[in-house]
Amino acid sequence: MTQDELVRRQRERARLMAWLLGAFVVLLFLITVAKIGLNR
Amino acid sequence: MTPSLVQPALPADWRDLVALTKPRVMSLVVFTGLAGLLAAPVALPPVLAFTAVLCIALAAGAAGALNQWYEADLDAQMRRTASRPLPAGRMERQTALHFGVGLAVFSVVLMDLAANHLAAALLAVSILFYVLVYTVWLKRRTAQNIVIGGAAGAFPPLIGWVAATGSMDLLPALLFAIIFLWTPPHFWALSLFVRSDYAAAKVPMLPVVAGIEHTRLHILLYSLPLAAAAVAPWALGLTGALYGLSAAVLSAAFLVLAARVFANRATDPSGMAPEKRLFAFSVLYLFALFAALVADRWVA
């Protein structure tokens, strides 16, 4: 594996992790809102 | 040096991480989990229902990853599995272990947060059952591996139901029984035409240990209680006629195909068209049965 390939793969994974973390935060927010709605 | 012992020092490609979760198996798990959730008499808010199904999918992925982590040496010996990320040397074993454990913990914690403790506990049990009971304990030791281990795959509809209601009931228990009884004929049909693979890897699948004829008989024998379990929700008045009729027709077709397998005398995989047909139909059978259950609920 070349250095370029290594960097490309790391960037790809970092970008994916960022998206997944963002989605997780949004999901947690929506779960909280739904739970509050259920407990009303 | 076998391919499984090659340890590449490179970050795993995300596509290989996805492959580690066995996406094709996951689709059936997700569908049956969703069906259990939709068949429940309590409707969860959409975001909680989505999260519950997501957790079931992630847990299935975690179990698949841990299974591949433990069985890398076995997978390297079988044609069907040799191209998986670990035996092909595209990923370090430790990456698969960390990924699997992380995904398992995450799915259980998220299920607890979005649904309830019981659903989270069942999810944890299903992962542990698949990894410890099936993969580590049974698979390499006994021909009953998929009979007992099949319970792991039977959890999703139960978990879906419990995520929605917070309690167990007779219908989800029957859904559990259906998948539990469906698993042996499904996997034995497959193991008949990939028998040489299992034999080479020294996995004691029924055709390897007890022979082809014995396996064909057992496929037919297990199909009978499967058909009974499939029709039981309607017979017990838990579902409507739409499900009952669908279950009866699908189960009759399953029994016919199982009988054709029993009648087949071929020992070479090239002559095992009935086995291949039953294997393909068994996947469709489970999808159709659970789809009929959900449709029946919606109609009622």
For residue B266, give Cα distances in angstroms to A39, B281, B298. 62, 20, 44
Chain A: residue nearest B114 by CA? A31
Asked if B133 and B141 count as a contact pair (C-beta separation under 8 A), the reply is no
Identify the pLDDT of residue B3.
46
Per-residue pLDDT of B70-121, as tens digits, reads: 999 999 998 889 999 999 999 999 999 999 999 999 999 999 999 999 999 9
Per-residue pLDDT of A1-40, as tens digits, reads: 688 888 888 898 899 999 999 999 999 999 999 999 987 7
Please list the ranges in chain B whose pLDDT falls under 70: 1-10
Instruction: State the complex-level ipTM.
Output: 0.87
| Best residue of A24, A30, A32, A36 to probe chain B, by most B CBs closer than 10 Å | A30
**Burial of residue B158 (number of CB atoms within 10 Å: 0-12, 13-18, 19+):** buried
Record: contact B11-A10, CB cut-off 8 A: yes
Asked if B74 and B9 count as a contact pair (C-beta separation under 8 A), the reply is no
Burial state string for A5-31 with b = 16 or more CB within 10 A and e = fewer than 16: eeeebeeeeeeeeeeeeeeeeebeebb
**Burial of residue B134 (number of CB atoms within 10 Å: 0-12, 13-18, 19+):** buried
Identify the pLDDT of residue B8.
52
Three-point CA angle B201, B146, B281, nearest 5°:
100
Record: contact A9-B10, CB cut-off 8 A: yes
CA distance B173 to B265: 37
Structure letter (DSSP) for residue B134: I
Structure letter (DSSP) for residue B132: I
